[in-house]
């Protein structure tokens, strides 16, 4: 299944303004007028009651001297407290009227289109001279890594491994995926869910890749070169690989870096290394044919009835235990969560309400449904759920299904033959592809080690596909108020938060946003850019790289070495 940059209809400027109908500005004046009238009425009524009946405001507690303010032709005496209440009422009135008159006028149908690119398009081809990878004799040694964690951690770790090999001028041993401990998946081959020959071929101008560390002959005996094991520091800078790791590689001939999740800093000053990350992530890492075929069948079936959105519902045991969000569960369920946390995570006192207020708790299924309903999505909306086993059982899904009954997942949308390709890590890969190709994607929890983290960046790269990212910190007090019975203006408050976003369009990356979530501007370009660094090179990455190597005498040797030593070995071992 091929994936191209979307050519669909695009929205205008990013954010709420682009979704609003043209009547919005006129309605703002209505809100302002209502504010003025309401304020004048309150001021006048401070001593003249309704229908002309006079009254005076009284308070029981001691107060400062009364303020004397003019209102019309007479002086009215009101207390400082009353003036404070009047100010609060006026401000609240303005906010409520503005949200009611403007936000209810938002055209949510525009979200089904891709975000406006503002002239930007994806491009990870080099824009300066990019030397070829070393030959076997030129290589500083072999780099072996073990990629632990979930699909997102493993994917970013593979990208980092390629960049690390490039920094060290080393030969990369095909990265190993830790499938069994996380996924209970028995497959042992390297990159078990990815198309290995495609991976090697795509990166042939970037790094030299082999299936395993070769044997060496010493004193008439042949033995396998043993890699020296190193535990890299978290978010290690480029300088660590160019000094510490490289020194050990030259000393031992090979190094084995494990664990390798988040072991290379995301902020790298060299834009060409960042573009290499994108070449790996968005071009070289392609899932195996059965996974791509399964994903295509699911997407085609969902699309046969029109638009569909995908939601990553991160409401699973491990995530809830890690986040410390246990107060909404039964005592028995809380024991399970606390036990899991004690066994798998560092001992730390977490207060659920505080965690929720700072946005560290995943949204519940019901909260997701309430958000969608507040945004004016109706119950005919087709939704694909990407998730593992939801913790807490059916009672958490029941309210969501009542609001949005057209829910699907990879086990319900396809025939029985799909099951063999939707288990373990492969199942997560299918979810990834369906979410990538959906018209709208909504992550309920995003972070540096989360499935949605990489996916949001991938959707940006392939045509700025709409992504709605809930601001959990801003939403928390709204949902807490609702739980305590304070429901006035609930949907208006939700919309105020939800429509204040970029919806997946190009935007500046601000810490702690990950490079894998937003690779703009390094991996994007403009056809008519004023800044030379932002101009687009030719579309085909290999054409760009090959044209740079035409003057290199060793180009044929590089091609032959890469394809013979790596692609040939990979094809022989593929199942």
The answer on pLDDT for 203 being more than 70 is: yes
173 domain-assigned: yes
Whether 34 and 173 map to the same domain: the answer is: no
One domain, residues 306 and 322:
no
| CB neighbour class for 42 (10 Å; exposed up to 12, middle 13-18, buried from 19) | middle
Specify whether 308 is located in the same domain as 439: yes
Q: Are residues 305 and 342 in the same domain?
A: no
pLDDT score, position 353: 92
164 part of a folded domain: yes
Over residues 137-154, mean pLDDT? 92
**Percent of the chain clearing pLDDT 90 (strictly above):** 53
Kindly state whether residue 137 falls inside one of the protein's structural domains.
no
Higher per-residue pLDDT: 452 or 519:
519
pLDDT higher than 90, residue 276: yes
CA atoms within 13 A on the CB side of 234: 2
Q: Say which CATH number the domain at 390 has.
A: 3.40.50.11350
Dihedral sign of CA atoms 284, 287, 290, 293 in order: negative
477 & 556 share domain: no
Query: Whole-prediction pTM value?
Result: 0.78
56, 78, 105: which is the final residue of a domain? 105
Return the pLDDT at 368: 97
Report if residue 111 sits inside a domain: no
DSSP 3-state percent helix, strand, coil across the chain (nearest 5)? 45, 15, 40
Overall domain count for the chain = 4
Question: Phi and psi dihedrals of 223, rounded to 5?
Answer: -145, 160
Per the prediction, the chain carries an average pLDDT of 80
- pLDDT-derived band of residue 265, with 50, 70 and 90 as boundaries? very high
Residue 218: pLDDT band with limits 50, 70, 90: low
Bigger pLDDT: 500 or 217? 500
Name the residue with higher pLDDT: 23 or 4.
23
Please give the distance of CA 274 from its chain centroid, rounded to a whole number: 18
The lowest-confidence range among 19-28, 227-236, 379-388, 526-535 is 19-28
Q: Does residue 241 lie within any of the structural domains?
A: yes
In a domain? residue 516: no
Is there a domain that residue 482 lies in? yes
**Residue 463 and residue 341 in one domain:** no
Q: Are residues 384 and 424 in the same domain?
A: yes
What is the tens place of the pLDDT at every residue in 72-131? 444 444 545 555 555 555 655 555 555 554 444 567 888 999 988 888 999 999 999 999
Tell me if 351 is assigned to some domain. Answer: yes
Please answer whether residues 192 and 269 qualify as being in contact, where contact means their C-beta atoms are separated by less than 8 angstroms.
Answer: no
More confident residue, 46 or 216: 216
**501 and 546 inside one domain:** no
Do 222 and 171 share a domain, yes or no?
yes
Asked if 147 contacts 247 with a C-beta cutoff of 8 angstroms, the reply is no
Q: Write out pLDDT tens, residues 375-401.
A: 999 999 999 999 878 898 889 999 999
More confident residue, 16 or 409: 409
Per residue in 45-62, pLDDT (tens digit) is 444 443 333 334 344 444
> Does one domain contain both 192 and 231?
yes
Q: How confident is the model at residue 170 (pLDDT cuts 50, 70, 90)?
A: very high
Can you give the pLDDT at residue 95?
A: 53
pLDDT at 97: 56
d(CA 372, CA 450): 22
Domain termination site, one of 56, 77, 105: 105
Look at residues 499, 380, 492 and name the one whose alpha carbon lies nearest to residue 111. Answer: 499
CB-CB contact of 128 with 545 (8 Å): no
Q: Which residues pair with 144 in a beta bridge?
A: 256
Domain that holds residue 351: 316-356
Q: Which residue has the higher pLDDT, 187 or 567?
A: 187
Question: Quick one: 167 and 226 in the same domain?
Answer: yes
- Among the candidates 82, 105, 128, a domain finishes at 105
Exposure string of 482-507, with b = 16+ CB inside 10 Å and e = fewer, is: beeeeeebebbbbbbbbbebbbbbbb
Q: Are 303 and 343 members of one domain?
A: no
């Amino acid at each position: 299944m091929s994936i191209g940059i979307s050519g669909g209809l695009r929205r205008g400027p990013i954010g709420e303004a682009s979704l609003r109908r043209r009547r919005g500005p006129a309605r703002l004046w209505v809100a302002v007028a209502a504010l003025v009238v309401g304020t004048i009425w309150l001021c006048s009524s401070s001593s003249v009651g309704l229908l002309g009946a006079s009254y005076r405001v009284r308070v029981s507690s001691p107060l400062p001297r009364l303020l004397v303010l003019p209102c019309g032709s007479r002086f009215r005496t009101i207390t400082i407290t009353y003036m404070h209440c009047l100010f609060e009422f006026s401000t609240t009135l303005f906010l409520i009227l503005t949200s009611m008159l403007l936000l209810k006028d938002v055209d949510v149908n525009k979200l089904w289109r891709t975000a406006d690119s503002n002239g930007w398009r994806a491009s990870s081809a080099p824009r300066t001279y990019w030397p070829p990878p070393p030959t076997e004799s030129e290589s500083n040694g072999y780099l072996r890594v073990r990629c632990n964690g979930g699909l997102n951690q493993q994917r970013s770790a593979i990208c980092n491994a390629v960049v690390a090999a490039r920094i060290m001028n080393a030969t990369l041993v095909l990265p190993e995926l830790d499938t069994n401990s996380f996924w209970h998946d028995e497959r042992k081959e390297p990159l078990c869910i990815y198309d290995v020959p495609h991976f090697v071929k795509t990166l042939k101008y970037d790094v030299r890749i082999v299936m395993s560390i070769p044997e060496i002959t010493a004193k008439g005996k042949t033995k396998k070169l043993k890699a020296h094991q190193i535990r890299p520091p978290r978010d290690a800078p480029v300088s660590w690989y160019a000094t510490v790791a490289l020194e050990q590689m030259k000393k031992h001939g090979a190094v084995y870096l494990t664990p390798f999740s988040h072991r290379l800093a995301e902020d790298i000053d060299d834009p060409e290394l960042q573009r290499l990350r994108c070449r790996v992530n968005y071009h070289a890492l392609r899932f195996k044919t059965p996974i791509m075929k399964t994903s295509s069948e699911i997407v085609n079936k969902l699309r046969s009835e029109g638009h569909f959105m995908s939601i990553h519902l991160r409401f699973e045991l491990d995530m809830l235990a890690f986040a410390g969000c246990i107060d909404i569960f039964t005592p028995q369920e809380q024991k399970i969560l606390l036990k899991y946390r004690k066994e798998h995570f560092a001992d730390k006192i977490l207060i659920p309400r505080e965690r929720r207020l700072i946005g560290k708790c995943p949204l519940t299924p019901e909260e997701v449904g309430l958000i969608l309903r507040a945004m004016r999505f109706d119950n005919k909306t087709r939704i694909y759920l990407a998730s593992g086993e939801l913790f807490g059982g059916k009672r958490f899904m029941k309210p969501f299904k009542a609001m949005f009954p057209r829910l699907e997942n990879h086990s319900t949308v396809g025939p029985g033959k799909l099951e063999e390709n939707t288990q373990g890590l492969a199942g997560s890969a299918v979810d990834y592809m369906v979410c990538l190709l959906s018209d709208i994607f909504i992550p309920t929890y995003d972070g540096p080690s989360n499935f949605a983290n990489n996916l949001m960046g991938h959707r940006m790269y392939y045509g700025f596909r709409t992504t709605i990212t809930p601001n959990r910190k801003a939403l928390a007090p709204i949902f807490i108020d609702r739980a305590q019975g304070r429901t006035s203006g609930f949907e208006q408050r939700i919309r105020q938060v939800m429509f204040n976003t970029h919806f997946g369009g190009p935007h500046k990356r601000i810490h702690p946003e990950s490079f894998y979530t937003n690779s703009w501007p390094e991996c994007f370009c403009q056809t008519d850019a004023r800044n030379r660094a932002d101009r687009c090179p030719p579309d085909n990455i290999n054409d760009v790289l090959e044209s740079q190597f035409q003057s290199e005498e060793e180009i044929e040797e590089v091609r032959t070495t890469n394809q013979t030593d790596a692609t040939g070995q990979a094809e022989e071992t593929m199942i």
